[in-house]
Chains A and B, each alone.
Chain A
Amino acid sequence: MKPLCLIACLLIAPAVPRAADDFFDRLGEALTFSASEGRIRARVSGLLDLEVYDLQHPAAPGVIDTKDRRLFAPRLTTFLDAQLGPRTYAFAQLRVDRGFDPEASDLRVRFDEYVLRLAPWGGRRLSLQLGKFATVVGNWVNRHGAWTDPFIVAPLPYDHLTPLWDTQAAPASATLLRWGHVRPGLLATTEAVEKDRRFPIVWGPSYAIGAAASGQVGYFRYAAEAKLGSLSSRPDAWSHPAEQINHPTVNVRLGWRPSPMWDFGVSASDGVYLREYAGVSVPAGLSRASYRQRVIAHDVAFAWRHVQVWAEIYATRFEIPRIGDGDTIAGYTELRYKFTPQFSGALRWGRQIYGTIPHLGERVRWGREVSRFELAPAFRFTPHVQLKLHGGLQRGDSGARATSRTLASQLTMRF
């Protein structure tokens, strides 16, 4: 049945008539509302994604959670954007899908984002926002939607799971090494089970609840946010903000944009990565506040004509009391090129490396290093319909396999 979905995607896309383009434009106009001579206006828009994954097991790479070889992941995303006068903007994102990350489960409905943003003095110097929203750290968030992201799977720092668990404090170095499969003792096939315990450096766009201030002064842009969830916190944690009320995460980004072609940024983050219920595993005399995730990230973006390049590097330290600091660095470079008005292609190379922790009198790397190469051609049939393919080859940390591959296709309709 699942291969049929892939075939269906490929067949449906070209069959969408050009007349539908006009229909989508008219639908967009019908879903735009305006009052007070345009001072108050709102628009409902959305994306319908039909994704099919073909995975190698055991252990599909990243946050994809399924035991099946193929996974069909449909998703309907609706956005509400509202402008209330020149100083107030609000938006919300509602999703119907099989989980925030692709997984084999039933369809469910979820508010992923809702934000109220105020520019108290107008202009660009200061904006304040409150709600549940994507992090200001890095530059992937700006393009993470299905329509704008050249790839289907998120970059390595946002997707690849580190050995650490957020459900339990690592009691000893041997345990942590077992979690990371660095030392023998745990079957590689159990990795898929651990997917609900391990976490990446940044979990997707990190839609945690919080408040933020941002603005622009000359060529510089700044943003600071306090969120109820660390960068690595999982989507389930974003819905339980009370857990982190005493341990808010602080994220900042300072950007320099000398021209529209270039955008440089440096970000930092400090938060607690353990979930509340992991508190029982915290040794006496310590608290969850001792289990911190500290991040320094650099990002750069370049665009000119038909070329776009992005790169990010995340240097992360997970403080693990009684074991040491778990350091890891993950980064990637991504290139997109439009060959024709409708056909584009993207390449991405990413790598994650690990530092060492003390273990039995020696220093031992606490995670398996991983490299990932990805290729994604895309074709836009109309300004509202796009088909994307994604091929990824990952070496390292793939359970029983030294090398694993991921294939995916995504048909997106934008309205």
Chain B
Amino acid sequence: MIVRGLFLLAVVVAPLAAATIEGRVALPKARATPVVNQRYEIVAKAGVLSTNPPVAVVYLEGPFPRPATPPVASILQKDLTFVPALLPVQAGTRVEFPNLDDTFHNVFSFSPAKRFDLGRYRADERPVPGVLFDTPGMVTLRCDVHEHMRALILVLDTPYFAITAADGTFRLTGLPPGRHTLRAWIDSKQTKAHAVDLAAGAALRVDFP
């Protein structure tokens, strides 16, 4: 009876105690849209590639406990582009790489945080090839067939992260109270940090100029 009471208390009170941070990250200039190398393609796949405006990842620095069962995320290979181009995941997440194009791709990474090569596979192959990302760090994805294709997976030791909007704004909710470091990953060379002291139910504003 006491246990059930404590559980109910936790369920009701925990969301009230969770803190929120919102703010804005100053983002770098947009990169030029890549050019598809079609030198020896008999069939031109012209068109305009989808653009990936710069965004940042804001996260509450860990370590926090990993999930019991690995969450699953995905990065699509669509129109000769990785979508999304930046994916933050908690360490222990499995990421799948569906190929939605009618041509082969070959996803690979030489990054120390995860070195793998999925080879070439058809769009209809099941299960969709994927990789477990269990070591925190930055993983650069590339395609061995299309040299312009590139994406990043940011493997974090925390479940508390968010991708900014294209204007740099972000909102993190459900954060645990306590003293933490809030980080904004902007690119491989730039990560900004801000110490935060989160009270239960607090709402903070943090900007990364």
Residues of A within 8 A of B (CB): 18, 21-22, 25, 29, 32-34, 38-39, 41-43, 45, 79, 81-83, 85-89, 91, 93, 113, 115, 117, 119, 122, 124, 127, 134, 136, 141-142, 144, 214-216, 221-223, 253, 255, 259-261, 303-308, 338, 340-342, 380, 382-383, 414
Contacts and interface: CB of A to CB of B under 8 A. Distances in A.
Nearest to B109: A341
Given A82-B35, A215-B43, A383-B110, A304 B117 contact: no
The 10 closest A-B pairs by CB, nearest first: A34-B32, A305-B119, A38-B33, A341-B117, A43-B35, A32-B32, A216-B43, A306-B119, A260-B104, A214-B42
21 contacts: A32-B31, A32-B32, A32-B35, A38-B33, A41-B35, A45-B37, A79-B37, A81-B35, A81-B37, A81-B38, A86-B47, A87-B46, A88-B46, A89-B46, A113-B39, A117-B44, A124-B43, A134-B39, A303-B104, A304-B119, A305-B120
Contacts of B104: 260-261, 303
Contacts, number: 128
B35 A86 contact: no
Interface string B107-140: 0111010011111111000000000000000001
B39 A341 contact: no
A43 B42 contact: no
Q: Looking at chain B, what size class is its interface with the partner chain?
A: 35 or more
B18 interface: no
B45 interface: yes
A79 B36 CA distance: 12
A113 B37 CA distance: 14
Contact of B39 (A18, A81, A253, A380): A81
A35 to B, nearest CB: 9
B178 to A, nearest CB: 34
Given A34-B33, A83-B36, A303 B120 contact: yes
Contacts of B34: 32, 41, 43
Chain A facing B: main interface SS: strand
B35 A83 contact: yes
A86 to B, nearest CB: 5
A128 to B, nearest CB: 10
Interface string B161-203: 0000000000000000000000000001100000000000000
B42 A136 contact: yes
Contacts of A22: 188-189
A341 B32 contact: no
A160 B49 CA distance: 42
Contacts of B140: 21, 25, 383
A18 B111 CA distance: 9
Contacts of A223: 42
Contacts of B31: 29, 32
B122 A261 contact: yes
Contacts of A305: 118-121
Contacts of A32: 31-35
A306 B117 contact: yes
B40 A134 contact: yes
Contacts of B103: 260
A39 B122 contact: no
B39 A340 contact: no
Contact of B46 (A83, A134, A341, A382): A83
Contacts of B37: 45, 79, 81, 91
Given A214-B43, A223-B42, A259 B122 contact: yes
B174 to A, nearest CB: 34
A38 to B, nearest CB: 4
Contacts of A383: 110, 140, 142
Interface string B21-64: 00000000001111111111011111111010000000000000
A88 B142 CA distance: 26
